[in-house]
Amino acid sequence: MAGPSWHRTRPVSARTNERFTSHQEVGVPVTTVDETCRNAGVGQVDFLKIDVEGAELAVLEGASETIAAHSPALLLEIEDRHVGKYGLRATDLVDYLTSRGYRMYVWKNREWTETDRVTVAVRNYLFSVALDRSRSKIPALAGQWAG
């Protein structure tokens, strides 16, 4: 349940990826994080890694109940070139999460450092409601996927 199957809306730009000479649309069943957690009886969500080539906001909206109930740490790959396909900017994702109490971090010098903006030099960002290194293994584990 990852990648393009999560897309609920069409990208603003549906052009063929530069790596391929053509494309073919394929229908796939789509669900949300909230629906998946409900159906599977998931009791706790501590961490979500979201990398869906620009459709991150759609995934976050489909995880809104889970995020509100559990405040999981979120590791997102954010690039303007991808979110732009959906008529968004990187700041739209940041604003969505910071308005829900999340703070944004980048992996720098082998630790998470708070930041307030997305840059072209970094693609992966950790969002956490409270980054307490003394009590949580998640930030250290998330560093494995940051670089």
- Ranking 30-34, 48-52, 107-111, 113-117 by mean pLDDT, the lowest is 107-111
Q: Is the model more confident about 45 or about 20?
A: 45
Distance between CA 136 and CA 124 in Å, rounded?
19
Lowest mean pLDDT among 24-28, 82-86, 115-119: 24-28
Residues 52, 38: Cα–Cα separation, whole Å: 22
**Tokens coding 31:** 């669900």
Q: pLDDT digit string (tens) for 57-90?
A: 999 999 999 999 999 999 999 999 999 999 999 9
Reported as a pLDDT band with limits 50, 70 and 90, residue 139 is low
Q: Is the pTM of this model over 0.85?
A: no
Q: What's the CA gap between 72 and 75, in Å, rounded?
A: 10
- What is the CA angle 50-55-60, rounded to 5? 55
* Cα-Cα-Cα-Cα dihedral sign, residues 100, 1, 10, 121: positive
129 has a pLDDT exceeding 50: yes
Q: What is the pLDDT of residue 111?
A: 87
pLDDT at residue 1 in the model: 38
What DSSP line would sit under 26-62, residue for residue? -------HHHHHHHHT-----EEEE--TT-HHHHHHT
Confidence at residue 28, expressed as pLDDT on a 0 to 100 scale: 87
